[in-house]
A and B are shown apart, each in its own frame.
Chain A
Amino acid sequence: MKTKYMNPYLAGVLLGLVLLMAFFFSGRGLGASGAVKSVVVTAVDIVAPGHTANSDYYGKYVGEGKSPMKSWLVFEMIGVMVGGFLSGALSGRLKWRVEHFPGITANRRLVFAAAGGILFGFGSQLGRGCTSGSALTGMASLSVAGFVSMMAIFGTAFALAYLLRKNWI
């Protein structure tokens, strides 16, 4: 099969080295959902400061001298945008489009993307991290939580694949 992408195993090794550098420099792994959480906390804090201060959840991230946007993950995710853009530019993949299986409409794809995003956002907070923050990083540091997350995420996706086959194949 001819592919326009990098050899997956080579990409995996490079991904592992990036993760290893994160451990070596900052003592922590990669993440993604944490940055989105910072955005949510900041937005809610601007709209309703009293609400965040009193909340069990937001309260951890706001208050004197704390700024949720000045976090490691936020800067890392800004880097991801830059890196993704550079790679797309290099490989000629920059294009505005809704990517979807030809058998479904673009609108259907967008509705499902939104629904999936909501579930993923919710689950990432409950599970203390997403595929990168909990599963990938957790596995590299041999954390039980990492292996459990990985199996739960991929296991569920496989289990539901048949129900959603019309969207993809």
Chain B
Amino acid sequence: MTIRNIIFLGLILLGIVIAMVPENTTKPYKLTAEEMLVEVQGAAEMVSADDVAHWVISKDPSLQLIDVRSPDEFQTYHLEGAINIPLSVILKDEYQDMLDQGIKMNVLYSNGTINSHQAWMILRQLGFENNYVMQGGLNYWFDTIMNPQEPSVYSADEEFAKYDFRKAASSALGGGGAVALSAPAKTKADKPKIIRKKKKKAPAGGC
């Protein structure tokens, strides 16, 4: 067989194969399983409900709450300033700019933490930065921030400070415990640093 015929045959065969297989439309994961394991063990993606409450009250401009529950649940109740990106549609292109960015700190939440964590895992594997999960989810938020329980008298001072803050936060956020806003609680942890996104280079080329 001549080179010409081999090449003709090769091209037509490869052409038939490529025409029959479905196109690869999956988004490639940027992080390997090992890298993910390290990240998950570090638990650096978690932010506490107290911190979130603090940022909401202080109207921190860099905070973006993202509700990953269904639109129905979102309609019924959602945190102040939250936007709704249900888990099922999180990969849609229209949300990409919001989830893959370097200006804001996205805090994902769901009722518990399962869905928010699932969302975070996917986003993280795609290489997106600055996404966090609210520890405990909305359930915990209601139990602690909106209806704080007074600690027992034997608790450490720290617990009382937390309680005071929560009561104050609860009132500021329209919850049950109505108490004058007291000390600016020292619960505020260091805010996670926002990682500047490397400018995604538009593919360059052409003459």
Contacts and interface: CB of A to CB of B under 8 A. Distances in A.
B207 A32 contact: yes
Give 4 nearest A-B pairs by CB, closest first.
A133-B207, A28-B205, A129-B207, A34-B207
Contacts of A134: 206-207
B8 A31 contact: no
Contacts of A28: 203-206
A7 B203 contact: no
Nearest to B4: A9
Contact of A27 (B3, B8, B203, B206): B203
A24 B203 CA distance: 12
Contacts of A29: 205
Nearest to A129: B207
A13 B7 contact: yes
Interface of A: 7, 9-10, 12-13, 27-29, 31-34, 37, 72-73, 124, 128-130, 132-134, 137
Contacts of B206: 28, 31, 34, 128-129, 133-134
Interface of B: 3-4, 7-8, 203-207
Contacts of A130: 207
Contacts of B3: 7, 9-10
A93 to B, nearest CB: 22
**Chain B, interface SS category:** loop
Nearest to B7: A9
Contact of B205 (A9, A31, A33): A31
A13 B3 CA distance: 11
B201 to A, nearest CB: 9
Contacts of A33: 207
Contacts of B205: 27-29, 31, 137
10 contacts: A7-B4, A27-B205, A28-B206, A31-B207, A32-B207, A72-B204, A73-B207, A129-B206, A132-B207, A134-B207
Nearest to A12: B7
Nearest to A32: B207
A10 B181 CA distance: 80
Contacts of B207: 31-34, 37, 73, 124, 128-130, 132-134
B94 to A, nearest CB: 24
A10 B203 contact: no
A108 B50 CA distance: 85
Contacts of B8: 9
Contacts of A128: 206-207
Nearest to A138: B206
Contacts of B7: 9-10, 12-13
Contacts of A9: 3-4, 7-8
Contacts of B4: 7, 9
Nearest to A145: B206
A73 B204 CA distance: 11
Nearest to A29: B205
Contacts of A32: 207
A71 B96 CA distance: 31
Contacts of A133: 206-207
